[in-house]
Structure 1
Amino acid sequence: MNAPDYTSFLKSKVRMAESFGFEIDDSEINPLLKPFQKATVRWAVVGGRRAIFKRFGLGKTFDQIEVVRIVRERAGGMGLIVIPLGVRVEFMRDANTLATGDSPVITDEQRAQLRAWLVDHPERAPRLKFVRSIEECDDPEGLYLTNYETVRDGKLDPRHFTVSSLDEADCLRGFGGTKTFREFMALFAGDDRRDMSNRIVTEGVRYRFVATATPSPNEYIELLAYCAYLGIMDVGQAKTRFFKRNSEKADQLTIHPHKEREFWLWMASWALFVERPSDLDPSFSDEGYDLPALDVRWHEIPADHSDAGTDIGGQLRMFKQQAIGIVDAAREKRDSLGVRVAKMLQIRAEDPDAHRIVWHDLEAERHAIEQAIPGITTVYGSQELDEREASIIQFSDGEIAELAGKPVMLGSGCNFQRHCHWEIFLGIGHKFKDILQAIHRVHRFLQRHPVRIDFIYTEAERAIRHNIERKWQQDTELRKKMTEIIREFGLSRAAMASVLTRSLGVERVEVSGRDYVIANNDCVDETRRMESDSVGLILTSIPFSTQYEYSPNYADFGHTDSNEHFFEQMGYLTPELFRVLAPGRLAGIHVKDRIVPGGMTGLGFQTVYPFHCKTIEHFMKHGFAYMGMKTIVTDVVRENNQTYRLGWTEQCKDATKMSVGMPEYLLIFRKPPTDRTNSYADTPVQKLKPFSLDADGNMIPFDRELPTAVGTGYSRARWQIDAHGFTRSSGQRLLTPEELLALPHDVIFKLFKQHSLENIFDFEHDVRIGEVLSAAGKLPSNFMLLQPQSWSEEVWTDVTRMLTLNGAQSAKGKEMHLCPMQFDIADRAIAQWSMPGEEIYDPFGGLMTVPFRAVKLGRRGRAAELNPAYFFDGAAYCKMAEQERSTPSLFDAFEVAA
């Protein structure tokens, strides 16, 4: 297909998660671990930075202790495991089992194997110490436990440790939005970079692991947070590679259908989802790892509609609203507390002496539980840590029959399955992960009884119940996909990578007509096939570096790791574009700058990557002359909804945080003409001046004498306005705010546009218009209603954003392009910089906007596109344009007949 150097470049894109660790064998792993647990430990130690997502009861505590111990043994230094409150006892108990074999579930034969294994290497016996400060770490080669709060409060700096593992890493679930996440990223992840030998050098903890039984496969942003913490891939890059964004709201991600398998294969290269031992290898026995039956019972309490309240207009409601929002849900919980407690007592009365957990969310609920059930043990945040842990141990050991607490406090890491198989939720909440964790304190492997779960909720909370059930089902389905991949490939990264390599190339398909030639092909290969100096104009919207991916093919320019990587691939294309462009002709390159998240900058705030500047440098490097650019204004309100970068609230808090909206640019480059003694192109783009006719019907140029019949053409007046770039005021009075209040949004938009273009700009007057509309509730928050218009020809504010081929795609129910070129941009560039009959080339054709508009404007269109779906849809549009152009009108038929 392409030259070997380009093919090698594409093959180098096939990357699974990098390995940072050590090859080990089973003899180095504690013999008490079962075969599937040893396989997990080997996989994690080799990776050096990995996530262990094992189902409840599969022994991830054993896994973490052994992984941290072995890596510390190989790399030196100290090891650290960070745990939630209340889990210390479980870890200390398991560490003692691994060191001594002292446990009722360990057989005499296993205990003897352990003692023999420790004879020559007594240092392999894990000795965990719980610490609350770095000063308590008295062994420079020790293994330590601490709580998240200790690290968060700055009492222990993890950078003193060589290896760390985060157990139930809740702090990562709040990606980007919490102080804890930012601190943990800075302290643990540090600033990874590579030395001259391409080895990772980090200011944080070099070897990092996370382990949890409840990652949320349906919460993609959470999975990407784990990925960022481990240093596998930048979050922004992962978003670009696998997801399409919600243009109305930041961080609402939907995976591209064509990228779904690749995403889960990539996930499987650094995150191990295990539901049962045989997932890792069919030879691993599942004996003892069958989950017990789960009996879920929902108890709906009728709502009290007598207190339904009023609507926004002050009218009394007949029925209570659904408690969908957090505020409404909290109010509903307070209002219904009495009836929910009564329902709890009714359920509890079925077996008053049973061992049971009662889950709640509010402190008022805890007080109500303590009053309703005298003698029940409760745990809460203001308790002394030792008192809280003592209660947890007593309940775990069956010494206490009933325990009440919050899922956020007790729902992670605690194992209660030995003596408890019944839970009552006094209420339900929005956090599905907390509910799932709480359920699996008792519904886990080694549970010997069916598990009963009672949910109490009110009629107004039906939507919350349905949301929980939806997420539960989605979680189950996505976990199944992950385990299917593990079952198919095992733990072989090479096998996964070989599957992805198959999408490297593309079999060229050409569709052509009289006025166009388009190809489903890699644009580098396609451009190399073209004749030199054959194109009259290059017009394209290049991929915005790593911002978007358009196909599952590794030749996709968006499938790059960094801006530098993107321009490296452009380095194969741009010289070919220079070659095929006719001497002296132009290339119009549509670009947009990119937002760099604060987590990537290391500065704590978002910055702007000047992509248009880098593109200018790149094209000039390859021989193009830079001629200037057109600025295309965009809607800053919609942009803020995508990035949360320009928020009104944040501007009020600190104006230094806010930048400006990101316009788009049409960069103009020129290939120097063959003859450098003058500035004309080898074939100039000529325009016919207006003309008049003399008495004999001969054309007289308009600039020589007054016309009697003026023909069309490029007038002196138009040239003067184009050259000057500004329009004077028409002198009409200013539009008053009051005149706009009774008008609909579309009329206000058009009137303000006219006002902005025809009147002298008055900043305070325009602000006043917006303030009046806002006070009347007529200033929308999802788009910019009052857009300032430009008087300069160098700034295009009148580009119709929605006038693209996506309109036709949407009408047909077909896949829409991620960022299609607007018709206005294509039409203006083609009309100004080319002549009829010339070939217009777009190497990134997409839905074929450029050849489609070129054909309509009397030119020949040519394009390449890698995505087959876009290509074939675009082929239909090009054919339609050619048919419209060649179909005679009624008047044409009369002329032929005459």
Structure 2
Amino acid sequence: MKSIDYEDFLREKVNFDRSFGFEITESEMNPILFPHQKMIVQWAVKGGRRAIFAAFGLGKSFMQIETLRLITKHKGGRALIVAPLGMRHEFIGDGAKLGVDVTFIKTAAFGLPETGMFVTNYESVRDGKIDPNLFTATSLDEASVLRDYGSKTFQTFLQLFKDIAFRFVATATPSPNRFKELSHYAAYLGIMDSGQILTRFFQRDSSSAGNLTLHPHKEREFWLWLNTWACFIQKPSDLGYSDDGYELPELDVRFHRVEIKGGEVRMDGDGQAVLFANGALGLSGAATEKRNSLSARIEKLAELVDESPDDHFVLWHTLEDERRAIKKAVPEAVEVFGALDLDEREERVVKFSNGESRILATKPSLSGSGSNFQRHCHRAIYAGIDFKFNDFIQSVHRLHRFLQKEQVRIDVILAESEESVIEILLAKWEQHKKLTSSMSDILREFGLDAGAISQALTRSMGVERVEVAGEGWQFALNDCVLETRDHMETDSVDMILSSIPFGTQYEYSPSYNDFGHTDDNLHFWEQMDYLTPNLLRVLKPGRVAAIHVKDRILFGNVMGTGNPTVEPFHAETLAHFRKHGFDYLGMHTIVTDVVRENNQTYRLGYTKMRADASSMGMGMPEYVLLFRKPQTDRSKGWGDVRVTKDIYDPTKPVSWEDDEPEAETPPNNPVDGYSLARWQIDAHAFWRSSGDRHLTPEELSQLKPEDMSRLFTAQTANSVYDYESHVKTGELLAGRKRLPSTFMSLAPASWHPDVWHDVNRMLTLNGEQSRRNLVMHTCPLQFDIVDRLITEKSNPGDLIYDPFGGLGTVPLRALKLGRRGRAAELNPVSYYDGVKYLEAESAEQDMPTLFDLIDLAQDDAA
């Protein structure tokens, strides 16, 4: 029995408050802090692991220093700030203002004092010169270095800092539209791992790995969740304080479009001369335009500098050729570049920040984060522009920040053909402003109270039950635990057939009742512990529960294994159902398309195989696990109510549905009884296709890919399998450029009874949903699987139940096969579409499927 009731379990799901710190009083804080800074410090210390996303000039360094000071005061030990090059002097100076001695270190090889606050750069930590475990509390300043998913920096820092109890990140521009960046911060802080974040909030593109967008119904929840561990503050009034002294100066952005000079020839990416510039540029096209327009852009840059001889300038560039051209055109410019010694690079940045040099030429990737140039500079010129919005916005705010006293002027120089680049940049900028404003709205609504956010989310929990029924079917909009527990009689179901959620792999609805809305597999099975005993209760003794599952890919860059591994979800399912009293009968294996899977996960690539075959797994099959509720009389094998088949009598005439021998179409069951031949096919669990003869590679190469796939499978089903011949066929087709890269066209037929190779993955209600542009139910059961299982494991007239009903596939197919159907579904969109399908079937109307569309296309072609 569960220790808490189901409703309490659901309420615990909503609790987003992940606190690792302790309470402090305002009297303990340094009195020179402003009110908004004190509130954030108090919140950060209580949370223990928090992100301070404070706009430029709001005192982010002060808040980090004070937070670390208070933690080490209470817990002892050392504190470490990790900052970009050039920022150590800012922390040392701000520490002095707070009365805290901040010491710069490059290495900890010779030991450190037992207490104190230290600052270092990212390179020292990444390269192993500093061990973060020597410190009680740490803070990453300008933590956008963790932005690139899978990068050496992110992976290194995730592992190095994972055992530190108190850790913080801070940056002024976390880019709310960069979802992966925000996910990295949460994973680094130990709030939620990246896999859980992707599952909980994002919909996936099954055709391309990594293409993520927020579920529409999860947007507000995502922003609320962010505000439980991250403070997005744009100005003090976001927290209810005065904005006096925190007004940003005006920002003047000017775009200068230049033409290629006479005598210069515009070249494309292949080195060919072109007559007209194409405004729609990709990455390679933009790079080509930069090379073509280099001299004209640098000439314009020098002209702008010469116009204002008394102003200080930052000259931003992205290419080394641009840097060299800038130095030649503007000799006074002090250069900062990657090959420069780190100490020299930092010294040049600091001197410019202090006004000791007038012109600095550098890249946004080198000096665009952390540096404070606003004290002596209000002009920036971009020698070029690219698609990297985050680098651009960061570099703009090296000047445009609180405490800047002058109007900030930004000059952007671009080729006349780069208009599309500017359009994309401006669109991202507008989106950035919108999302940042949304974060401020949430902060003003809830403050820094994670409890208030949890209460707001709790109010959206649950669903009002709706039931629609017809002749032979019943469909409920409800949590399946509540539906099975409260609305179904004991021993009332003849068969259970369902594709259960695959752990935390997907969320199917916005409700917290959703089984996919769990922290990890352990949490998922805890919720299943409330459902499965009720499934056992409602199923008749001796009858079958068929459960469709699939294992889960665990990506190496998320799990820290460096290589994708497999979570054996089917094995966990097997153990779970056995734990709750089901007998296990065995499983069917359904093979999948390895090429399509690689397009979705990038883990089975041909290149990967050649580089290191030991790191590559195999295609992931699906499984149907067969369980049985123990029969009442355990001394016998028969169920209390058997699933029986009549013997086929070949002498008995065909039973036509309309008793008219001349009818054109036979009914679904043209003969009475169950034949030996039919049993053999059912026992093998797949149907074999036939072919007249072997097809040669030359013949296959002339077919459409989809026809080639079908016929090749038929060929292998009727011949002895020859691996080398299979490979050779594929190689010959590839040589003729006839081997598709988007799906497996040469899939062999199965010869084993437990492997079904011919399940049509396109024939699902999902196909019709997609055609109508409706919400798609992820991982639907295919008609072929449902039909086989219902026919084999139930009697006509039996009740088939699916607790995760989706679009109503199981009750629908049950009706078609002369059974009754019942289901529950939590997602209202899927539910009401499923009701329409069932009502149409009850009215004996033809429902369109993807095959109907294929037939139409073939008719059109004819």
TM-score, structure 1 as length reference: 0.88
CA distance in 2, matches of 1:797, 1:530: 36
* Larger displacement relative to structure 2 (472-481 or 611-620): 472-481
**Matched ranges for 1:122-521 at <5 A:** 126-135=100-109, 138-175=112-149, 177-189=150-162, 204-280=163-239, 282=240, 284-302=241-259, 307-309=266-268, 319-320=276-277, 324-521=281-478
Q: What SS does the corresponding residue of 2:494 show, helix, strand or coil?
A: strand
Maintained 8 Å contact 1:166/1:211? yes
When residues 164 and 6 of structure 1 are mapped into structure 2, their CA distance, relative to the original with a 3 A threshold, is same
In the TM superposition, what whole-angstrom CA distance separates every residue of 1:134-164 from its partner, at most 9, and x where no partner exists? 1355321011111111011111111111110
CA distance in 1, matches of 2:85, 2:44: 25
When residues 778 and 310 of structure 1 are mapped into structure 2, their CA distance, relative to the original with a 3 A threshold, is farther
* Larger displacement relative to structure 2 (251-260 or 672-681): 672-681
When residues 476 and 694 of structure 1 are mapped into structure 2, their CA distance, relative to the original with a 3 A threshold, is closer
CA distance in 1, matches of 2:285, 2:272: 18
Maintained 8 Å contact 2:17/2:454? no
Which of 801, 806, 817 is 1:857 aligned to? Answer: 817
The Cα RMSD (Å) is 2.5
Aligned residue in 2 for 1:195: none
* Larger displacement relative to structure 2 (532-541 or 630-639): 630-639
Q: What SS does the corresponding residue of 2:540 show, helix, strand or coil?
A: strand
CA distance in 2, matches of 1:789, 1:245: 30
CA distance in 1, matches of 2:148, 2:268: 34
CA distance in 1, matches of 2:20, 2:161: 15
**Matched ranges for 1:698-737 at <5 A:** 711-723=671-683, 734-737=694-697
- The one-letter code sitting in structure 1 at the alignment partner of 2:179 is Y
CA distance in 2, matches of 1:265, 1:519: 31
When residues 139 and 433 of structure 1 are mapped into structure 2, their CA distance, relative to the original with a 3 A threshold, is same
CA distance in 2, matches of 1:500, 1:579: 33
C-alpha deviation, 1:739, in angstroms: 2.2
Maintained 8 Å contact 1:730/1:759? no
Q: What SS does the corresponding residue of 1:749 show, helix, strand or coil?
A: helix
* Larger displacement relative to structure 2 (764-773 or 571-580): 764-773
Maintained 8 Å contact 2:804/2:823? yes
CA distance in 1, matches of 2:419, 2:731: 39
CA distance in 2, matches of 1:504, 1:452: 50
- The one-letter code sitting in structure 2 at the alignment partner of 1:134 is A
When residues 15 and 303 of structure 1 are mapped into structure 2, their CA distance, relative to the original with a 3 A threshold, is farther
When residues 64 and 813 of structure 1 are mapped into structure 2, their CA distance, relative to the original with a 3 A threshold, is same
CA distance in 2, matches of 1:323, 1:729: 49
Q: What SS does the corresponding residue of 1:662 show, helix, strand or coil?
A: coil
CA distance in 2, matches of 1:318, 1:796: 57
Maintained 8 Å contact 1:159/1:188? yes
- The one-letter code sitting in structure 2 at the alignment partner of 1:715 is S
Maintained 8 Å contact 2:336/2:361? yes
When residues 799 and 724 of structure 1 are mapped into structure 2, their CA distance, relative to the original with a 3 A threshold, is closer
Aligned residue in 1 for 2:747: 787
When residues 726 and 523 of structure 1 are mapped into structure 2, their CA distance, relative to the original with a 3 A threshold, is closer
C-alpha deviation, 1:552, in angstroms: 2.0
In the TM superposition, what whole-angstrom CA distance separates every residue of 1:79-132 from its partner, at most 9, and x where no partner exists? 000011111122122112222xxxxxxxxxxxxxxxxxxxxxxxxxx1111101
In the TM superposition, what whole-angstrom CA distance separates every residue of 1:482-526 from its partner, at most 9, and x where no partner exists? 111110011111111111111222221111111211111111111
- The one-letter code sitting in structure 2 at the alignment partner of 1:6 is Y
Maintained 8 Å contact 1:620/1:626? yes
Maintained 8 Å contact 1:727/1:791? no
Aligned residue in 2 for 1:639: 597
Which of 451, 473, 481 is 1:524 aligned to? Answer: 481
Maintained 8 Å contact 1:691/1:710? no
Maintained 8 Å contact 1:323/1:332? no
Which of 682, 698, 709 is 1:749 aligned to? Answer: 709
Maintained 8 Å contact 1:221/1:251? no
Aligned residue in 1 for 2:725: 765
Give the unaligned 5+ runs of structure 1. 100-125, 190-203, 698-708, 888-898
Aligned residue in 1 for 2:65: 65
When residues 802 and 710 of structure 1 are mapped into structure 2, their CA distance, relative to the original with a 3 A threshold, is closer
CA distance in 2, matches of 1:725, 1:519: 31
Maintained 8 Å contact 1:308/1:321? no
C-alpha deviation, 1:624, in angstroms: 0.9
Maintained 8 Å contact 1:729/1:760? no
* Larger displacement relative to structure 2 (517-526 or 750-759): 750-759
Tell whether 2:578 aligns with 1:620.
Answer: yes
CA distance in 1, matches of 2:255, 2:90: 31
Maintained 8 Å contact 2:685/2:755? no
Which of 692, 700, 707 is 1:740 aligned to? Answer: 700
When residues 272 and 728 of structure 1 are mapped into structure 2, their CA distance, relative to the original with a 3 A threshold, is closer
Give the unaligned 5+ runs of structure 2. 656-668, 848-862
Maintained 8 Å contact 1:489/1:496? yes
CA distance in 2, matches of 1:584, 1:637: 40
CA distance in 2, matches of 1:660, 1:694: 49
- The one-letter code sitting in structure 2 at the alignment partner of 1:844 is F
Aligned residue in 1 for 2:98: 98
**Matched ranges for 1:815-830 at <5 A:** 815-830=775-790
CA distance in 2, matches of 1:729, 1:762: 18
Maintained 8 Å contact 1:517/1:862? yes
Q: What SS does the corresponding residue of 2:645 show, helix, strand or coil?
A: coil
C-alpha deviation, 1:692, in angstroms: 4.2
- The one-letter code sitting in structure 1 at the alignment partner of 2:109 is E
When residues 611 and 422 of structure 1 are mapped into structure 2, their CA distance, relative to the original with a 3 A threshold, is same
CA distance in 2, matches of 1:247, 1:787: 20
Aligned residue in 1 for 2:665: none
In the TM superposition, what whole-angstrom CA distance separates every residue of 1:304-331 from its partner, at most 9, and x where no partner exists? 99545598xx998654556744444334
Maintained 8 Å contact 1:690/1:710? no
TM-score, structure 2 as length reference: 0.92
Tell whether 2:8 aligns with 1:8.
Answer: yes
In the TM superposition, what whole-angstrom CA distance separates every residue of 1:340-376 from its partner, at most 9, and x where no partner exists? 1122223334324321111011222111101001222
In the TM superposition, what whole-angstrom CA distance separates every residue of 1:843-879 from its partner, at most 9, and x where no partner exists? 0111111112212222211111111221111111111
Maintained 8 Å contact 1:303/1:460? no
Tell whether 2:639 aligns with 1:681.
Answer: yes
Tell whether 2:37 aligns with 1:37.
Answer: yes
CA distance in 1, matches of 2:139, 2:780: 44
In the TM superposition, what whole-angstrom CA distance separates every residue of 1:871-891 from its partner, at most 9, and x where no partner exists? 11111111111111799xxxx
Maintained 8 Å contact 1:6/1:572? yes
When residues 318 and 749 of structure 1 are mapped into structure 2, their CA distance, relative to the original with a 3 A threshold, is farther
* Larger displacement relative to structure 2 (801-810 or 255-264): 801-810
CA distance in 2, matches of 1:3, 1:391: 63
CA distance in 2, matches of 1:334, 1:80: 43
- The one-letter code sitting in structure 2 at the alignment partner of 1:28 is E
CA distance in 2, matches of 1:355, 1:545: 58
In the TM superposition, what whole-angstrom CA distance separates every residue of 1:445-476 from its partner, at most 9, and x where no partner exists? 12222222121222443333222222212211
Maintained 8 Å contact 2:259/2:296? no
